Chain A
Amino acid sequence: MKQLLTGSAIALALTASGAFAEDISACLVTKTDTNPFFVKMKEGASAQAEALGIKLNTYAGKLDGDVETQIAAVESCIAGGAKGILITPSDSRALAPVVTQAREAGVLVIALDTPFEPTDTADATFATDNFLAGELIGQWAAAKMGDTSKAKIALLDLNPSEVSVDYLRDNGFLQGFGVDIKDPKDIGDEDDPRIVGNDVTNGNEEGGRTAMENLLQKDSGVNVVYTINEPAAAGAYEALKSMGLESQALIVSVDGGCPGVQNVKDGVIGATSMQFPLLMASKGIEAIKAYADTGEKPMNSEGLDFFNTGVELVTDQPVEGIPSITSEEALGKCWG
């Protein structure tokens, strides 16, 4: 079945576009073509590439976690003589060998959104500070609750692979909320009694709903719900609503997609951390152009091992001491 998946995935994914017109070519390899986040990223990269006269080939895995297709895509980029590769790795570790191979071939590799492990596997990382994104919603939830001793926390994560974006957001949220997170790279190793449990959602509504039902099953008193992204949050809300519990729980999330921001406006999601995929992609293309022209590689943000493309808290119920923007303002900046 695995082979079967891969076979068809490659068939679908390797629909790279265009001919070799310009001198500089670059590749964009995203996790999927299905997530609006990556669709936006592709838009940002394509627009910037056109502006700078770079030939851009885009590839995507068929679903989140589709490592094989991404490896094949990177190999095609090396073979195609790309000057630089922008990639959102589906697996922070599994893609390291092929990325190393690309760098040895003189290709500039920039991780977008999801850092590699170790981070210096790639030449640079342009990403949201996912830990900070989690921390902001954690702090917001704690401030909103006031007395957090009676909190009952449900954690809706991405998938069993525990990729970096998954543990960074999860642990960031817990730290912000005031929970001892133990190993910051491990999900679910906390022993705080306020945590009801973790479950996985695959980042979509169906998974979010099922995971929320499962955790409510463990404890129907859940009153704080962390979600890996906004579709999962929408699913969690449906589960709560179906049991008449939607008013007891604060739902927080990360992403800043337009439907998610709309859900903040409608009161489904309490607060979400917005990230900026378009900026990641356009900065990435600029960096490839600079590298092609001068051989210069991009620098990290100060104090971080990546270039921070920023994050903003979106909520209509602002709290003291945590800067945030309203959903109305956010609708003008959201992606997807």
Chain B
Amino acid sequence: MSDTTPAKKGQDFEHVLDKSDRSVASFETSQRNIIERLQSALHGNPTLVPVIVLAAAVAVFGLVAGGKFFSAFNLTLIMQQVSIIGILAAAQSLIILTAGIDLSVAAIMVLMAVIAGNLAVYNGVPAPIALIVAFVGGTVAGLINGFLVTKIKLPPFISTLGTWSIFFALNLWLSGAQSIRSQDIDANAPLLKFFGQTIEMGGARITYGSILMVLVFAVLWYMLNKTAWGRHVYAVGDDKEAAELAGIRTDRTLLSVYALSGFVCAIAAWASIGRVGSISPQAFYEGNLQSITAVVIGGISLFGGRGSILGALFGALIVGVFQSGLRLAGVDVLWQVFAIGWLIIIAVAIDQWIRKASA
């Protein structure tokens, strides 16, 4: 209200303006400190965090666990061990990008593996046809989730919580809770184990399953980033109403996302038979949570519309690197679980912080 400094030039009441900033209005660009710049860089490239964490983890475990960790053998083994959860994480990413969540991914996968195995090993159906049935089945399972979400208007969490149990029960019923033995698959339908084959180069042992995982991510990345459909997925995830007003048929987009996710789960089913060797109705019980872990650590926002699907690949690899590194360093299993828990919390905390970036 009143300036307490005594006036020096008579009635010149505007003298205080001398103290004001004389620069022309401008955007703050160069003035921001390093942390803010980092925040903004991360906001622009959400995959940067997992890449940095992965590189740092590899470096640290390389130092701690030594040569055994860094061997081509071990690094390719990690790829092999994360391949199934990695592919499931790709399916999960699609759903999470639409601000949904899918608790049924692993259940769809195991059910499809059991269906393909039952048909091909016990019922004499040619393996390619059994696999086609599994792919169609996976897609239909995804469509059921999508239908519940878009038409019945159930939250994705609830829809997939329900279908998780339903698919799991069907799996037990079909399999009689019995594993299909590796030897029986070899004898009747070796094609089911296609992705278990390895390419050996020096100490490295790259399985077809690992390559498949990378391919799945590459194709989905292309679809999400270079096609109209992909941009619609992001738009729906970011703000469904705005997307609808912009003329996107949001329900149709969502349905296609769930169907594709189910299809990817069926791909994971095929790969899992090669990875495990046999078809076990009891394996991957926590696969849904592990896939969500990979996605979250990979910097994909649970609030939808933000993050790159490649992040999920890095997220899965980070989990694999941590487990392998801690194991080789002689750390007990429970501390591995402990470490993964912290990774999740820190990853989401970083995501929240990045979201506050100004630009």
Chain A residues with a Cβ under 8 A of chain B: 1, 4, 8, 11-12, 32-36, 39, 63, 160, 199-200, 202-207, 209-210, 213-214, 217-218, 231, 234-235, 237-238, 241-243, 259, 262-263, 266, 268, 336
In the assembled complex, how far is the CB of residue A241 from the closest CB belonging to chain B, in whole angstroms? Answer: 8
Q: How large is the interface on B (under 10, 10 to 19, 20 to 34, 35 or more residues)?
A: 35 or more
* A231 with B282: CB separation less than 8 A: yes
Q: B256 at interface (Cβ–Cβ under 8 A)?
A: no
In the complex, what distance in Å separates the CA atom of A336 from the CA atom of B281? 14
Instruction: Choose the segment among B216-224, B228-236, B283-291, B299-307 that binds chain A (4+ C-beta atoms closer than 8 Å).
Output: B283-291
* B172 with A33: CB separation less than 8 A: yes
In the complex, what distance in Å separates the CA atom of A198 from the CA atom of B246? 57
Give me 18 other A-B pairs in contact (C-beta within 8 A), A8-B161, A209-B276, A234-B179 excluded.
Answer: A12-B165, A34-B172, A34-B282, A36-B176, A39-B176, A63-B285, A160-B334, A202-B282, A204-B179, A205-B280, A209-B277, A213-B81, A217-B77, A217-B327, A217-B328, A218-B68, A231-B179, A235-B278
Interface centre among A1, A33, A209, A213 (most CB of B within 10 A): A209
* B68 with A259: CB separation less than 8 A: no
Q: B208 at interface (Cβ–Cβ under 8 A)?
A: no
Total number of A-B contacts with CB less than 8 angstroms?
105
In the complex, what distance in Å separates the CA atom of A160 from the CA atom of B334? 7
In the assembled complex, how far is the CB of residue B342 from the closest CB belonging to chain A, in whole angstroms? Answer: 16
A-B contact pairs, 14 of them (CB 8 A): A1-B289, A8-B165, A12-B169, A34-B172, A34-B281, A205-B277, A205-B278, A206-B275, A209-B275, A210-B81, A231-B280, A234-B182, A241-B277, A268-B183
CB nearest to B278 among chain A residues? A205
Interface SS of chain B: helix
* B333 with A160: CB separation less than 8 A: yes
Q: B352 at interface (Cβ–Cβ under 8 A)?
A: no
Which residues of B have CB within 8 Å of A218? 68, 328
Chain B residues with a Cβ under 8 A of chain A: 68, 73-74, 77, 80-81, 103, 161, 164-165, 168-169, 172, 176-179, 181-183, 196, 198, 205, 272, 275-278, 280-285, 289, 324, 327-328, 332-334, 337
In the complex, what distance in Å separates the CA atom of A206 from the CA atom of B290? 14
In the complex, what distance in Å separates the CA atom of A336 from the CA atom of B172? 14
In the assembled complex, how far is the CB of residue A333 from the closest CB belonging to chain B, in whole angstroms? Answer: 17
6 A-B pairs closest in CB distance: A238-B277, A206-B283, A205-B280, A204-B282, A34-B177, A206-B276
In the assembled complex, how far is the CB of residue A187 from the closest CB belonging to chain B, in whole angstroms? Answer: 11
Interface centre among A33, A203, A205 (most CB of B within 10 A): A205
